[in-house]
Structure 1
Amino acid sequence: MQQAMLTNKDEKVLKALERTRQLDIPDEKTMPVLMKLLEEAGGNWSYIKLDNYTALVDAIYSVEDENKQSEGSSNGNRGKNLKVIDSPATLKKTYETRSASSGSSIQVVQKQPQLSNGDRKRKYKSRIADITKGSESVKIPLVDDVGSEAVPKFTYIPHNIVYQSAYLHVSLARISDEDCCANCKGNCLSADFPCTCARETSGEYAYTKEGLLKEKFLDTCLKMKKEPDSFPKVYCKDCPLERDHDKGTYGKCDGHLIRKFIKECWRKCGCDMQCGNRVVQRGIRCQLQVYFTQEGKGWGLRTLQDLPKGTFICEYIGEILTNTELYDRNVRSSSERHTYPVTLDADWGSEKDLKDEEALCLDATICGNVARFINHRCEDANMIDIPIEIETPDRHYYHIAFFTLRDVKAMDELTWVSTMIKLP
């Protein structure tokens, strides 16, 4: 299909060009990208037209970013606020440098007013081709679709990292023969009978052979979220979450749900990394995008592809802190905005008299992954968080993984209902 013919005679192409012209994108930049997208989509316009041609605009800017990177040119402050850290030593050095210079380098966005119809011309002031800078298996772009907010400052980490005093003992020696499937080979889900690692989910795997969370398990977890009083809880004598740090006293414990866990195979198991019971530890596989919402919610996360019910999206990644460390951090930076930390209390029933300096939480304020951009919904969220046991059998520490609660369409925002720690 020739470019001139597309421009002059195809009404769909003309509408696409009308959109890109609003953004001052010249036709000579639009046409090659549009033709490539159409070729990859088999001539199907549905995806290209979604959300006012967002996919087309994103593709054009991605090409520009790649060209600039290959030419070795810089683009103002684009991407300078992001840094990837993959070792505790680098993290410690980065945090100390930031603390000494400014107390905290995080700028969590404030809610923005909605634009009027007359001011809806988007400027795309901030665009990053991949906020993970190669630390994930897929690129995750960031786009400011409103043009009214600077790129948030944070350190991207693909795995949880201990901040300072949190006790996290990972050791193969602590994993007994009863806690692994050393005799398995290849893919555990292909065996005639479930392996040892499936005992936490009633002797059945939580995942299907397609890598989705089974509907029965997912629905039970959702019911626990909606009807928590219908399920068993454990009550602390001195609850770390109800401590008055100024008075040194404790309020009444509201109770902690005894939640359903998924136990994944790990390094002491005989299966390989492609085993169907290693979904979360293989990392992000979906096509995602961080974007600035138009509903006054600040930044959000959306999918760029259709996702079936039970799809793993990502982990909630952050620094592993004790409750005491979190309190001290909030006191030091009380005037600044924070992302919501998540308490790791899914199995407090097995830990008696847990002290405030022992209870763990995840805080993505300074260091985190794409999950720090996920917005919360009270009723109609399309994701749920599930506790995942991987490398620590005692569950004092575990992973938080997000799965879709229903089918999610491309360009839909990803949201969740969470159990959060109240900030002082």
Structure 2
Amino acid sequence: MQQAMLTNKDEKVLKALERTRQLDIPDEKTMPVLMKLLEEAGGNWSYIKLDNYTALVDAIYSVEDENKQSEGSSNGSSIQVVQKQPQLSNGDRKRKYKSRIADITKGSESVKIPLVDDVGSEAVPKFTYIPHNIVYQSAYLHVSLARISDEDCCANCKGNCLSADFPCTCARETSGEYAYTKEGLLKEKFLDTCLKMKKEPDSFPKVYCKDCPLERDHDKGTYGKCDGHLIRKFIKECWRKCGCDMQCGNRVVQRGIRCQLQVYFTQEGKGWGLRTLQDLPKGTFICEYIGEILTNTELYDRNVRSSSERHTYPVTLDADWGSEKDLKDEEALCLDATICGNVARFINHRCEDANMIDIPIEIETPDRHYYHIAFFTLRDVKAMDELTWVSTMIKLP
């Protein structure tokens, strides 16, 4: 399509221009971006019109950000905040397109993840973006290749383990079958079982701590009765001691975020949220829950000091708590993304209709004191839908 044809004869284009004019975006900036989006979408307007042309507006601001970065910025940061005061078409009332961050990850992920807020009712939370979990202070995390036995790796594999005639050693955690399909999706049967464990926890086996960290009275130093911890289903991914390469189909989580995501301020009163900018099939890996690795005692102390400032929910790594007679405090671990974290800190919780679930992932270490938490879609998710987490809220220590 030529630009003149789009402007003068296409009613859809005129409606798109009406929206961008409300934001004081000149037509000459809109048209090249709109043409590019249409080309990439094969002429399909559905994605472009979603959520009042959010995709188009985001793309225009991204181009502005990239142009500013190419010219050089004073601090060399990949984050650019664009302030707008657009004139609305229904009178003199003005609104601000409050903030637009081109890449909240600051280049630390393989894809850019923008942040937008056209509601303008809350400042961007202050936190440090990290792509991998980090130890806070006292947490005991022993990662060593020497600790990984032949039974815990597939040293003789080559290339892609999923292409072999038979599953390798790393598939034993999932009953001798890989949890992933060749397309990189989580298998439906495994996913459905994990969801059932979330919704019907009393129907599945539990382990019980002698002295449960969650039931500790920190003032008295005593312990209450353990409510039990689910024996959760794990996925074991191949790692450095395995013979396969990084493109192996059993290394989905450790390859990081691949989806087009966006942090945005919701209009439903839930604050910040995370949504997808593309259609996602059931079983798609979204991201890990990344944060600081704390002991249970450190988490308690942090909550006491800053209970009024909490923006995120901690995740307890309790899958192995009941298997040991005496659990040391430095081995009772949790993840907290309040101060340091990734985009998962913006995910909102839903009790019934969430579209994601968290799955434990074993990668670096065969013990269960530490493991990864990965989010996968529970069903097909459409572009611009919010990504929400079905989660049983943990009891804060």
Shared fold (TM-score, shorter chain, > 0.5): yes
Deviations for 1:202-242, whole angstroms, at most 9, x for unmatched residues? 00100000000000100000000010000001111221001
Deviations for 1:277-336, whole angstroms, at most 9, x for unmatched residues? 110001111010001100000100000000000000000000000011111112222332
**Compared with structure 1, are the counterparts of its residues 245 and 107 closer, same or farther at alpha carbon in structure 2 (3 Å cutoff)?**
farther
SS at match of 1:217: helix
Q: Distance in 1 between matches of 2:87 and 2:353?
A: 22
**Compared with structure 1, are the counterparts of its residues 199 and 116 closer, same or farther at alpha carbon in structure 2 (3 Å cutoff)?**
farther
**Compared with structure 1, are the counterparts of its residues 395 and 114 closer, same or farther at alpha carbon in structure 2 (3 Å cutoff)?**
farther
| Overall identity of the aligned pairs, in % | 100
Partner of 2:172: 199
Q: Distance in 2 between matches of 1:302 and 1:415?
A: 8
Contact 1:314–1:401 under 8 Å retained in 2: yes
**Count of aligned positions:** 397
- In angstroms, what is the RMSD of aligned CA positions? 3.9
Q: Distance in 2 between matches of 1:21 and 1:397?
A: 51
Contact 1:114–1:294 under 8 Å retained in 2: no
Partner of 2:248: 275
Structure 1 residue runs without a partner (length 5+): 77-103
Match of 2:97 among 121, 124, 127: 124
Deviations for 1:141-172, whole angstroms, at most 9, x for unmatched residues? 11112122222111010000001110000000
SS at match of 1:335: helix
SS at match of 1:236: coil
Q: Distance in 2 between matches of 1:111 and 1:243?
A: 51
Greater mean alpha carbon deviation, residues 208-217 or residues 335-344: 335-344
Deviations for 1:364-385, whole angstroms, at most 9, x for unmatched residues? 0000000000000000000000
Q: Distance in 1 between matches of 2:93 and 2:324?
A: 54
Deviations for 1:372-401, whole angstroms, at most 9, x for unmatched residues? 000000000000000000011011100000
Give the alignment's TM-score, normalised by structure 2: 0.93
Give the alignment's TM-score, normalised by structure 1: 0.88
**Compared with structure 1, are the counterparts of its residues 381 and 242 closer, same or farther at alpha carbon in structure 2 (3 Å cutoff)?**
same
**Compared with structure 1, are the counterparts of its residues 105 and 31 closer, same or farther at alpha carbon in structure 2 (3 Å cutoff)?**
closer
Greater mean alpha carbon deviation, residues 351-360 or residues 382-391: 351-360
Contact 1:187–1:272 under 8 Å retained in 2: yes
Deviations for 1:57-100, whole angstroms, at most 9, x for unmatched residues? 00011111111122224699xxxxxxxxxxxxxxxxxxxxxxxx
**Compared with structure 1, are the counterparts of its residues 192 and 143 closer, same or farther at alpha carbon in structure 2 (3 Å cutoff)?**
same
The alpha-carbon deviation at position 120 of structure 1 amounts to 9.9
The alpha-carbon deviation at position 259 of structure 1 amounts to 0.3
The alpha-carbon deviation at position 8 of structure 1 amounts to 2.1
Contact 2:276–2:387 under 8 Å retained in 1: yes
Q: Is residue 139 of structure 1 aligned with residue 108 of structure 2? A: no
1:50-199 equivalence runs, <5 A: 50-73=50-73, 123-199=96-172
Q: Distance in 1 between matches of 2:18 and 2:51?
A: 14
**Compared with structure 1, are the counterparts of its residues 230 and 323 closer, same or farther at alpha carbon in structure 2 (3 Å cutoff)?**
same
**Compared with structure 1, are the counterparts of its residues 110 and 181 closer, same or farther at alpha carbon in structure 2 (3 Å cutoff)?**
farther
Q: Is residue 262 of structure 1 aligned with residue 235 of structure 2? A: yes
Partner of 1:35: 35
Q: Distance in 2 between matches of 1:295 and 1:135?
A: 30
Deviations for 1:243-278, whole angstroms, at most 9, x for unmatched residues? 111122222211100000000000001111111111
